[in-house]
Structure 1
Amino acid sequence: MNTAGSWDTPGHTERYRARVFQERDRLTASLADMRQEQQRVLADLLDFNADTEFGKHHGFAGIRTIDEFRRAVPLQDYSAHAPYIDRMAAGEANVLSADPAVVYFTSSGSTGAHKKIPVTRRFMRTTFFPFYYAAWAPLLEHFPEVLSRPDAVLNLKHDPLSAPPTTADGRPHVGASQVDFGEMFGEPLSAEPGTGAPWATLPVDVAPDDHLQKTYLRLRLAVQSDLRCLIGINPAMIAAVPYQLNLWWPRIVREVRDGTLGGVPHRAPDPERARELERLADYFGVVRPAQVWPRLRALFCWTTGVASLYMPALREEFGAGVTALPAPVAASEGPSGVALDRHGSAGSLVVSASVYEFVPADDDLLPGTETLLPHELEAGRDYHVVFSHVGGLYRYAGGDVVRVVDRVGGVPRLEYAGRNTRSDAAGERLRDAQVVRALHRALRATGLRLRNVACRVEPSAGAAVRYTFALAATTPWSAAEDGRFAALLDQGLTAESADYGRARADGRLDAPVLRHLDRDAFHRDWHTAVAGGIRPTQVKDRMFRQDDALWQRLTHTTTDGENRHE
C-alpha cells in the first residue's frame, strides 16, 4: 500500500512499472530450478537465524537438507509460535529471528482472533517485496491505463492510520494495508495503484473505526472519477460495491450536486454530473457500476473459494468486458502463489520466498505429520500449505488450503481453495473447498446462479442432523429447480467426500435443504459486521456459519436492521 504522495513525484510511475516487471522477471527466473532455489532459501534462513533461541534449540547450525530440517522441527501452527512471538512483542531480542520485528501484521485467521505476525526487514526484502511487486505485473502489462491518472483506481483495501495500535514494545500492530512501506522499510515505490487518488487520504475527519463512513466517503468521491480498476483483494469488498451504490445513491447524488463530502463543503458543486447520475438511475431503475464507470477494465481480488460462485455475476455488474485478475495466494504470514500471467485463478509457487511443504488436505495436521515437497504434488489435488521463511516462522501451517491447477516448467501453479476448517457434525469431515465444488457442480447442471451462499448443520427429523444452505440467488428459483439443485448438491457432496457419503448412507446425515434469502442479505450482513468495527479487509466470505448469533443475523435482518418474521 502506502505513501500516496509518491505518485506525484516526477517519473514515479515509470520507475514503478520498471520495478514491477523486474521483480516478475526475477521470480520467473527462479522457477527454472525449483529444487535448487528451495535449497538456497533453506540455507539462508538456517544461517541467518542459527543463533536465535529457536535456532539453537532446534540445531539450525547443523542442518543441511530439507529432510534434516523436517526431522528437527515439528509441524507447527500459530499457537506453537505464539509464546515466542509474545516475547518478541514484549521487546525480547533474538527469539525467532536475528532481525527484530519492525511491525506486526494482524491476521484474523479462521476464528476472528487477531494474531500478531512479526515482520522483519529481512523478511520484507527477501520474502515479501519480490512477490508483492510481481503480483501487479499482469494488471500493468495488459491494462496500462490503470496508472494513467492517480484517480483511475479505487483501492478499497487502502486504509492508512495516523495512530495505529501497538504491541508492548511500541511496534505497530496493524493490517498489511495499513503500513506505509515507504516510510517504514525505505521502499518509496511500494505505494499500490490507487493510493494517490483523492480519496486515499480522506480530507474530512472520520473516526478510525468508522469503516462504513470511510467506505461511503471514498465511493462518493469515486463517482466523479473515470475509474479503470477496483482493487479489493478480499472479493467481498468488491461484491459490496453495487449494493452500496444503490444504498447510498440519493445521498451521493445530493453531495455531488452540492459539492459536499459527508455534509462538509469539499469542492465546487457539480450539478451536471449529478444530473447524469440521476438519469442513470431513472433509466435503468437500479444503479450498476458499469453505468457509473463505463470504461472500467479490471478487478483485482481473490477469484476462488466462495467468490468463484458469484464472480461471473459480479463481473457483469462492472461491465461485460471487465477482467477479474487473481490477487496472490498469500496471507499475513507469507505468500504461496502469485500469478505471473493472466490465468484467472492460479499463481506459480513463489519458490524464492519460503521453504514449502504440503500435506494432503484430508489429512490432519499434527506435529509429526509427513509432508510432501513441491515436486511431489499432483494436479487436481488439495493441500495444506506449510512454509518456513527467514522472518521467523518455521514449518508453519497457517490454515490455508490450496489446489494444484497445473504445472509450468515443473513448478506447481496454485489457487486458493479455502481455509482448513472442517464441518464434522456426523463424521462427514467436510471442507469448504469440497462444498464449493459441489455447489459449482449443481449450478452448472441447472444453469442457476448465486450471489452468495453459506451453510450450517441443523437438527433434522429424519436423522440426527442435516445441512441447511442459505442462498441468495440472482433470480428467483422455481420449486422444481429447488428440488433438483438440492439433489445435485447432495450428490456432489457425496462425490467430493467419502466421509459425507458414508454419513448419508448410515443415516447420520439427512439430505441438505435450501433456505432462500433475498438478493442483498449477504451484503447487509457484511455491512452489519463492518458497522460493528471490523475492518472491511477482514470481513470475508465464510462457507460454514455455525455460530447461532451470526446465522440469525444473516438470515433474519432487513435493510433497517430489524428482525423480520417469516
Structure 2
Amino acid sequence: MSTAVSPVSATAVQNSTTYSRQQAVNSSVVTGPFLDRARTALERQRAICASPQEHADRVFKDILDQAEGTYFGKKHGLSAVRTLADWKKAVPVRCYPAFEPYIQKLLDGDTNVLTRSDPYAFLKTSGSSGKPKLIPTTRHWRNLYRGRALYAQWGLYFESIGYDRSRGAAVLDLSWERAAPVEPVLGEFPSYSISQRPASVSSVDWTPPWYEEDWFQGLEDEDYKTGLYRKLRLLASSDVRIIVALNPSKIVGLAEQLAGRAGDLIADLRHGTLAGLPCGGADPVLADRLEALRRANGGGLRIADLWPNLSLVVSWNSASAALYQPWLEEVTPGVPKLPFSATGTEGIVTIPVDAHDAAGPLAMDLGLYEFVPTEGRDDEADLEPDVETVGYRDLEAGQTYNVVMSQANGLYRYDLGDRYTVVDRVGEVPRMAFAGRSGFGSSFTGEKLTEEDVHNAVRLGLGDDWRLRPLFTCIPVWNTPPGYTLAIEWSEELSMRPERFAAQVEDQLQRLNIEYAEKRRTERLTPMRVLAVPPGTFAAVDQRRQAEGASPAQLKHYWIQRNGDLLTYLEGAPQK
C-alpha cells in the first residue's frame, strides 16, 4: 500500500526553485497581423469545406511522396500505388503495436524508415488505452499540416467575439504550455506531449503572440494548482476575453483556484508579488475592487469578477467532456462556449469553422481519412487488417464510425481507436462529433459499464448534494469475483454518510445498466465499494505521479479508469 500523499504547502512552493527569477505580468496582446493570419486560415478552411476533393487528393499525393523509397514504402510496394484502391490493397489497417517495430528502428538510429523527412522528436500519447505510445513528428508534418490548422480554429474564436474586440485583448491559452522536453527516449530524440511542446519549429508553425510570456512557460517542479494560480496572478491585470483549454476540467480548476485563493491574489496584487517574490508593479486599484467583490460574494472570487470582459470559453464539449458542462456553465455563466478542434497526439480529425457547440467538419487538408461503421461491430475488438472502409462522401448523418487515418508523419492506415458521429454537413464535408474511444469503459463479465453510466449513477445517488460537484472516478478491481471501487472526494458538506451513498449508487447503477444488474444478481460482480477521500486528494495524487515521471497529458481525469493502478495511490491517502 502506498504512503499518504498531501498537497504541497504554500511555504514549500515559496521556497522551491519554481520562482527562481522575477515573473513578469502579461505584456502581449492579440495583434493585427496575428488576427489577419488567423482570419485567412479560417477562410481557407471554410473554402475547403465547399470543395474538399482537391485537398484530399493533394494529401494523398504527399503521403505517397513521403513514403517513397522508405523502408516502409519498399516493404509494401508503394512505388506501384496510384489510386486509393491500390493504397488499400498495399497497406493493411493497423493499430499501434504493429507500428512499434518501425518506431524501434527510428529509436535505434535508422533513417528513412516511415517517411523521407525523419522525425526530430516523438509525441507521447496520454496512455489512456495502455502504456504511452510514441508518435513520430517531422518538420514536414508540423509545418505543412499540424501547425497551420491551429490558426484556423483561433480565427473562429476571434471572429466569434469580433475582430475589433479581439485586437488589443488578452488571451488565456491553457491548451498548450511551453515546457522543456523530458529525458530523451533513447539518446537523441526528445519526447513530450502535444500540450507541452518546448518550441515552435519554424515561422509557419503555430506561434501565438503570447509565445514568450512568462505565464505561458511551464516551470520545473510546478504542480498543477500552483501553475493555474501563477497564470491567474500574471494575467490578473489584463483584459482577458478568451479562455481556451482542451479539457473543460482545466477551466473549472482555474475557477476553483481563483475562488479558493482570492485572498492570496488580492494580497499579491496589492504588494506586487508572487510567492513572496517581486512580480511587476503593485495594482492597488484592482486589489481594492476585487476585495469589495470578494466580500459581496461571501469570500470568493469568480472568473467574471477578475475579467469582466470575458466573451468566450473554448474546450472539448463532446463525449465524456460534455459531462463537465454543468460545472463549466456554473463557473462561467452566460459566457458563449465553442469547441476546440478534435485533436489527438496522432493527428487532428476535425476543425470547428462555425458556431456549432460540439462538432466540426472533417479536416480534409490534414490527413487521409477512412471510416468503418460501428453498427454491428464488437466494441472491444480492433479493426481487422483487411476491414472494408468507406470515404467521407459515404458517411450518413446520425451514424457513428471508427476512424482510420493516414498522416504524413508515417502513421499509414492507422486504427485511431476513436469513434465519431456524423452530425450534418458543412458544404460537402461531414461535420463530426467525437463519440469516445472504442471499448472505453469496463466490462469484466459483459456488463459494459460506461462513463455515462457511472456519471449518472453518482448524480442520481447524491440527489440534492449533486450541487457540490465532488470529484470521483470508478476503478475496476480484479478479484474472484471482480468489482468496482468508486473513489470520491468527500467533503463535510455532503449530507449523507458514505455507506448510504454506496447503496444509492449501487441501486442507480443497476437501474441504468441492466447487464450490470444481472451480473450483480448472479453474484458475478461484487457490490460497488465507495472509497471516500478528502477534497484535494486527486490533485495530490496527480502531483505525486507527475513527480514520478508521468506527463500532465497522462493525468487526465476519467469517470472510469482503464485499470486499478490509481487505487494504489488513493488507498494510501487519508480516508474519511
TM class by smaller structure: 0.7 to 0.9
Are the counterparts in 1 of residues 38 and 155 from structure 2 also a CA contact under 8 Å?
A: yes
Superposed CA offset, 1:472-524 (max 9, x none): 79995779999887656544444xxxx66875686645786877777766556
Q: 1:437 to 1:470 in 2, by over 3 A?
A: closer
- Aligned-residue CA RMSD (Å): 4.0
1:343 to partner: Cα distance: 1.0
Does 2:33 align with 1:19?
Answer: no
Separation in 1, partners of 2:386, 2:495: 45
TM-score for both structures, normalised by structure 2 = 0.80
Separation in 1, partners of 2:458, 2:360: 21
Q: 1:278 to 1:209 in 2, by over 3 A?
A: closer
Q: Which residue of structure 1 lines up, in the alignment, with residue 239 of structure 2?
A: 226
Are the counterparts in 2 of residues 468 and 513 from structure 1 also a CA contact under 8 Å?
A: yes
Q: Which residue of structure 1 lines up, in the alignment, with residue 442 of structure 2?
A: 423
Separation in 2, partners of 1:88, 1:176: 20
Q: 1:226 to 1:518 in 2, by over 3 A?
A: farther
1:142 to partner: Cα distance: 1.0
Segments of structure 2 that go 5 or more residues without pairing to the other structure are 1-23
Kindly provide the amino acid, as one letter, of the partner of residue 282 in structure 2: P
Separation in 2, partners of 1:390, 1:229: 32
Does 2:547 align with 1:541?
Answer: no
Are the counterparts in 1 of residues 225 and 257 from structure 2 also a CA contact under 8 Å?
A: no
Q: 1:62 to 1:492 in 2, by over 3 A?
A: farther
Separation in 2, partners of 1:372, 1:37: 20
Separation in 1, partners of 2:518, 2:85: 37
Q: Which residue of structure 2 lines up, in the alignment, with residue 343 of structure 1?
A: 356
Are the counterparts in 2 of residues 453 and 543 from structure 1 also a CA contact under 8 Å?
A: yes
Separation in 2, partners of 1:406, 1:502: 37
Q: Which residue of structure 2 lines up, in the alignment, with residue 560 of structure 1?
A: none
1:345 to partner: Cα distance: 0.8
Name which of 184, 194, 207 aligns with 1:191: 207
Structure with more relative contact order (C-alpha pairs < 8 Å, separation 6 or more): 2
After TM superposition, list the pairs within 5 Å mapping 1:396-407 onto structure 2.
396-407=414-425
After TM superposition, list the pairs within 5 Å mapping 1:44-443 onto structure 2.
44-111=62-129, 113-144=131-162, 147-149=166-168, 152-161=170-179, 165-168=183-186, 170-179=188-197, 182=200, 184-187=201-204, 190-192=206-208, 194-195=210-211, 197=213, 199-201=215-217, 206-207=219-220, 212-284=225-297, 285-318=299-332, 320-359=333-372, 360=374, 362=379, 364-368=381-385, 370-373=387-390, 374-420=392-438, 421-432=440-451, 435=453
Separation in 2, partners of 1:180, 1:403: 34
1:321 partner SS: coil
1:406 to partner: Cα distance: 2.8
> Which deviates the most, 52-61 or 306-315?
306-315
Q: 1:129 to 1:453 in 2, by over 3 A?
A: same
> Which deviates the most, 162-171 or 533-542?
162-171
Superposed CA offset, 1:519-541 (max 9, x none): 76655655555566644444212
Q: Which residue of structure 1 lines up, in the alignment, with residue 7 of structure 2?
A: none
More strand by percentage: 1
Superposed CA offset, 1:415-460 (max 9, x none): 223333341211234454x6479669979x9996656542234589
2:425 partner SS: strand
1:311 to partner: Cα distance: 1.6
Are the counterparts in 2 of residues 24 and 134 from structure 1 also a CA contact under 8 Å?
A: yes
Q: 1:95 to 1:530 in 2, by over 3 A?
A: closer
Separation in 2, partners of 1:294, 1:246: 15
1:328 to partner: Cα distance: 0.8
2:237 partner SS: coil
1:385 partner SS: strand
Does 2:567 align with 1:551?
Answer: yes
Q: 1:270 to 1:130 in 2, by over 3 A?
A: closer
Q: Which residue of structure 1 lines up, in the alignment, with residue 4 of structure 2?
A: none
Separation in 1, partners of 2:358, 2:271: 43
Are the counterparts in 1 of residues 180 and 198 from structure 2 also a CA contact under 8 Å?
A: no
Q: 1:533 to 1:221 in 2, by over 3 A?
A: farther
Are the counterparts in 2 of residues 236 and 540 from structure 1 also a CA contact under 8 Å?
A: no
Separation in 1, partners of 2:454, 2:394: 25
1:160 to partner: Cα distance: 2.1
TM-score for both structures, normalised by structure 1 = 0.81
1:94 to partner: Cα distance: 0.9
Separation in 2, partners of 1:136, 1:248: 30
Kindly provide the amino acid, as one letter, of the partner of residue 204 in structure 2: E
Q: 1:486 to 1:135 in 2, by over 3 A?
A: farther
Separation in 2, partners of 1:343, 1:98: 38
Q: Which residue of structure 1 lines up, in the alignment, with residue 11 of structure 2?
A: none
Are the counterparts in 2 of residues 403 and 414 from structure 1 also a CA contact under 8 Å?
A: yes
1:46 to partner: Cα distance: 1.8
1:381 to partner: Cα distance: 3.9
Are the counterparts in 2 of residues 357 and 371 from structure 1 also a CA contact under 8 Å?
A: no
1:74 to partner: Cα distance: 2.1
Separation in 1, partners of 2:565, 2:62: 47
1:393 partner SS: coil
Number of residue pairs matched? 540
1:390 to partner: Cα distance: 1.7
1:546 to partner: Cα distance: 5.7
Separation in 1, partners of 2:506, 2:386: 36
Separation in 2, partners of 1:441, 1:372: 39
Are the counterparts in 2 of residues 521 and 555 from structure 1 also a CA contact under 8 Å?
A: no
Segments of structure 1 that go 5 or more residues without pairing to the other structure are 558-562
Q: Which residue of structure 2 lines up, in the alignment, with residue 456 of structure 1?
A: 475
Superposed CA offset, 1:374-425 (max 9, x none): 3343433443322012221111123333333333345322222333334121
Percent of paired sites with the same residue: 29
